[in-house]
């Protein structure tokens, strides 16, 4: 911003609002983090105090790690999230390309059909999905979750990506055709790199609900070997007794991978959300 347009009062006000919002947003995360490093008594006595020599304890992390399967849950969550995201992005982008690029009968209708999933929550179909998974023998496998999450993510992905693909210059694709590139090469080499910000946006919007989901893991894959992290953490929450140290530690660790993925996508994400706002 130029110096002439900078007004100190406005600047302070704007930053005050932003800082307040940041504090509010980060506060719960902060509380979880500091309490995961305290012993049980201190958690309840002074939940907002930082861990000190007296209250510092790694008992929560020890419990979680001793539980043994925790790494398996972690791995399961990671596999489910990454594979689902990959499939959503791949198929979503391909469908979006077809809708945006080719004139065929029923193009608009197909687009509407694919976008219908945005309006209908997939959980309505849970019973039918469970029956299907039982019949195909996919219950208690990671594939059950991957397939459901892929289906859940596709509508929004197709919707967002087809909008972005329409903006990719037609001349560029035609230049590729004249140079003898196949439609697949045009898609992967010319179009996909140009819609990367949109892909990152779709990835982030899909990643967090998948990572956090408790519903489908609980119903479709509750077996020990296919539990996800969110489901696995539930063992520490009992009806009568809850091991808060362990819950907080498990949650703290569950934040990490999402944060790493977010950092990877975020630079692209910001471009995706603001693109079109300014040229």
Sites of contact with other proteins (CB under 8 A): 169, 171-172, 174-181, 189-190, 193-194
Give the DSSP letter string of 117-168.
HHHS-GGGGHHHHHHHHHHHT-TTSHHHHHHHHHHHHHHHHHHHHHHHHHTS
Cβ–Cβ under 8 Å, residues 84 and 146: yes
Q: Nearest approach, Cβ of 178 to other proteins (angstroms)?
A: 5
**Which is closer to other proteins, CB of 15 or CB of 177?**
177
**Which is closer to other proteins, CB of 163 or CB of 183?**
183
**Which is closer to other proteins, CB of 94 or CB of 181?**
181
**Distance (Å, whole) CA 245 – CA 43:** 8
- Identify the bridge partners of residue 38 per DSSP, sorted by sequence position: 56
Q: Nearest approach, Cβ of 194 to other proteins (angstroms)?
A: 7
**Distance (Å, whole) CA 14 – CA 199:** 30
Q: Nearest approach, Cβ of 175 to other proteins (angstroms)?
A: 4
Q: Nearest approach, Cβ of 167 to other proteins (angstroms)?
A: 13
Q: Nearest approach, Cβ of 65 to other proteins (angstroms)?
A: 45
**Distance (Å, whole) CA 249 – CA 253:** 6
**Which is closer to other proteins, CB of 28 or CB of 180?**
180
**Which is closer to other proteins, CB of 123 or CB of 177?**
177
Please give the backbone phi and psi of residue 101, each rounded to the nearest 5 degrees, phi first.
-100, -40
């Amino acid at each position: 911003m130029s110096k002439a347009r900078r007004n100190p009062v406005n600047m302070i006000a704007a930053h005050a609002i932003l800082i307040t919002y940041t504090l509010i947003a980060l506060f719960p995360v902060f509380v979880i983090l500091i309490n995961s490093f305290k012993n049980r008594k201190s958690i309840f006595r002074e939940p907002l105090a930082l861990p000190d020599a007296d209250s510092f304890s790694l008992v929560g992390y020890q419990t979680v790690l001793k539980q043994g399967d925790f790494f398996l849950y972690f791995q399961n969550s990671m596999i489910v999230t990454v594979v689902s995201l990959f499939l959503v992005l791949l198929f979503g982008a391909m469908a979006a390309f077809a809708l945006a690029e080719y004139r065929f009968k029923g193009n608009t209708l197909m687009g509407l059909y694919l976008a219908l999933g945005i309006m209908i929550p997939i959980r309505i179909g849970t019973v039918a999905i469970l029956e299907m998974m039982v019949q195909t023998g996919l219950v208690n496998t990671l594939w059950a979750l991957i397939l459901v999450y892929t289906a859940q993510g596709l509508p929004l992905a197709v919707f967002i990506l087809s909008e972005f693909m329409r903006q990719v210059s037609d001349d560029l694709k035609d230049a590729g055709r004249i140079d003898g590139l196949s439609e697949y090469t045009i898609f992967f080499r010319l179009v996909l790199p140009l819609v990367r910000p949109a892909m990152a946006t779709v990835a982030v919007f899909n990643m967090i609900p998948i990572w956090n989901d408790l519903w489908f893991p609980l119903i479709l894959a509750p077996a020990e070997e296919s539990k996800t992290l969110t489901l696995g953490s539930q063992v520490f929450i009992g009806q009568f007794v809850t091991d808060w140290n362990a819950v907080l530690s498990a949650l703290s660790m569950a934040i990490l991978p999402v944060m790493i993925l977010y950092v990877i996508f975020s630079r692209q994400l910001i471009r995706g959300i603001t693109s079109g706002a300014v040229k």
